[in-house]
Amino acid sequence: MRKIRLGLYLFAVVLMALMGAHSSWAAEGDFNMLSPSKVEIFPEGALLYFEMPTGEATVTLPPTIDPNSISIYSDSGVNITKLEIDKEYLGDWVPSELEELKTQIDSLQSKVAETASQLNALKQSAGMFENIPLPSDPRKAKEIISELQKERFAIEQSIFDLELKLEAQKSNLKYLQDQWNALRPIDDFAARVAISSTGKGTILLKAFSHEARWRPVYYANYDTKRGELTLDVKAEIYQKTGIPWNGKISLYTHTSKDEVGMPELPPLVVEFREPITFKALSRNTASFEQKTETRAEVLPGIVYAVDSTIAGTGKLALLPLEKYSEKTEIEIRCLPQIDPEAWIIVETKPIEKSLAKGKVHLSIDNTPTGTSLIDNTSAGENFRFSLGKSPLVRATKVDLIPKTGEKWTKGTLLDGYDITVVNGLSQESYITIIDRIPISSHQDIKVSNISIEPEPTETTEKGIYTWKLRLKQKETGTIKVRYEIKFPEGKEITIRPIY
């Protein structure tokens, strides 16, 4: 029996040794990869500036650089005698920021290969039990079979354990490889620049990369105790050139590649009035007093200047730019035609500095309430936007008669609605309610008001009515609207919004 065990053990050892070889990544290529000394980043790409050595020099630019965008500038004391630009295959080059990840993948690949070798050796060993000869003596054969069953059970258990171990290792390896594929530069080629020059001075190379972009992101919070609205302006920066950026970075709000030809102004014509549109209650713009000096306003737009390090693996970086604050009151607005819950609206005073379009994260007393969008806002403008909805203030609308797509042909229609407003806040509040009455788009259709209680504080030619109710805590207010529509008998009318 010992001979059988020893034979199985030696067989497994030899088999593992034979199957232990596995592949791994080759050594990192030796590239003189140049890092930018200055970066100008736009919403759709970035201009990278590189300082070139004088004399004879050959450098490799980061991947994703457009070779056709490369241009060379030099001081007056430098004479460039040769310039060659071509592509270079990066092979197994690994960005410095991904070296640790690459080492982890290499190590795990080795473990996967080792576990697979052990598993294959055990499976081969298990197969040997099928061909072991048994003695003719029934008693001895029974003893051997019993021993073999124990050995077979132990090996099968080991195979099961190794299969679970291999499955876990492969799963972890796939996770790391997915990270690698997401973080590594997309391009396998890079621009190789060979330059010869004489004299003394600075040589600057400028090139464009599409694998970089930024956008402004805003965080707006209203402090109810202080009555103050704060807006934090941050830069969300993405770059996946494979090389980290260290140093001066300029952020431009305008694009660098758009068509900028001036259009012609078309003439005006007079025609029948367009259908009335019921528009949203607020404009998504923003403006506050500026408190920082990291920006400049130039003719094309806003330029922010930062000094930071941005990873070259595509991981988003969020950098603070500036902060605005302003004392302002919020307004509680209800649009019962759209939603019974009230909107919380804030409006600022005109500001001295412009803001670029961007996403804004909203909160009240540091409790998130949603997201919105800030439009491009020029100096001198104020803006109004919603901070979210409040279920504590509700306005419920009940129509006088149901009319889901109804049509009428009797010549006269009496219509209207009731709005019930409930203040569930802990204090007395002014609540603004906005609704509408249809207006005629034809001279033969007449719309007249019969009764509106209470009187609206504001009306528009488009039929938009505004009420401002002062309600105490838990107080209920009611608005009653009745109107009449007259039209030629036998004609058919319909009431509908136009968007």
Angle, CA 180 vertex, CA 176 and CA 181 arms, to 5°: 120
Q: Mean of the pLDDT values across residues 45-70?
A: 89
Helix (H) or strand (E) holding 11: helix 2-19
Query: Percentage of residues in the chain with pLDDT exceeding 90?
Result: 36
Residue 124 reports pLDDT greater than 60: yes
pLDDT at 28 over 70: no
Say what the pLDDT of residue 129 is: 62
pLDDT of residue 267: 61
Which of 142, 29, 1 has its CA nearest to residue 92? 29
User: Looking at 188-192, 217-221, 266-270, 464-468, which range is the least confident one?
Assistant: 266-270
pLDDT confidence of residue 11: 42
- DSSP helix/strand/coil, 453: strand
Q: What's the confidence (pLDDT) of residue 376?
A: 87
- pLDDT (average), residues 354-361: 91
DSSP H or E stretch at residue 222: strand 212-223
Reply yes or no on whether the pLDDT at 32 is more than 70: no
Whether the Cβ atoms of residue 129 and residue 148 lie closer than 8 Å to each other: yes
pLDDT value, residue 128: 67
pLDDT of residue 488: 86
More confident residue, 272 or 77: 77
Looking at residues 384-405, what average pLDDT do you find?
A: 81
Q: What percent of the chain is modeled with pLDDT above 70?
A: 80
Which has the closest alpha carbon to 499: 276, 213, 236?
276
Structure tokens belonging to residue 459: 């009306």
Least Cα distance to 307 among 325, 321, 296 occurs for 321
pLDDT in tens, 421-431: 999 988 899 99
Q: What is the pLDDT of residue 408?
A: 54
| Average pLDDT for 210-221 | 94
Q: What is the pLDDT of residue 268?
A: 56
Contact partners, residue 440, CB within 8 Å, separation at least 6? 446, 447
421-442 mean pLDDT: 91
Q: Is the pLDDT of residue 337 over 80?
A: yes
Domain coordinates in residue numbering, the chain = 2-26+97-183, 38-86+194-209, 212-256+277-390, 400-494
- Selection from 60, 42, 81 nearest residue 50 by Cα: 60
pLDDT number for residue 466: 95
**pLDDT at residue 38 above 80?**
yes
Instruction: Say whether pTM exceeds 0.75.
Output: no
Is-contact 193 84, C-beta < 8 A? Answer: yes
- Please give the pLDDT value at position 271: 45
Question: Burial level of 426, CB count in 10 A (0-12/13-18/19+)?
Answer: exposed
What pLDDT was estimated at residue 153?
A: 79
Q: Could you give the CA distance from residue 368 to residue 220 in angstroms, rounded to a whole number?
A: 10
According to the model, what pLDDT value does residue 130 have? 64
Among 45, 464, 420, which residue's Cα sits nearest to residue 240? 45
pLDDT bin (cut points 50, 70, 90) of residue 247 is confident
Q: How far apart are CA 61 and CA 80, in angstroms?
A: 19
Amino acid 185: pLDDT: 82
**Residue 405 binned pLDDT confidence (cut-offs 50, 70, 90):** very low
Asked whether the predicted pLDDT for residue 214 surpasses 90, the reply is yes
| Mean of all residue pLDDT scores within the chain | 81
What mean pLDDT comes out for the span 45-74? 89
What number is the average pLDDT over the span 101-120? 91
The predicted pLDDT at position 218 comes to 94
Taking the C-alpha atoms of residue 92 and residue 88, their distance in angstroms, rounded to an integer, is 12
More confident residue, 45 or 352: 45
Output the pLDDT for position 23. Answer: 29
Whole-number pLDDT of residue 262: 59
Q: Within 10 A of 430 (CB to CB), how many other CB atoms are there?
A: 12
User: 121-135, 256-270, 361-375: which range is least confident on average?
Assistant: 256-270
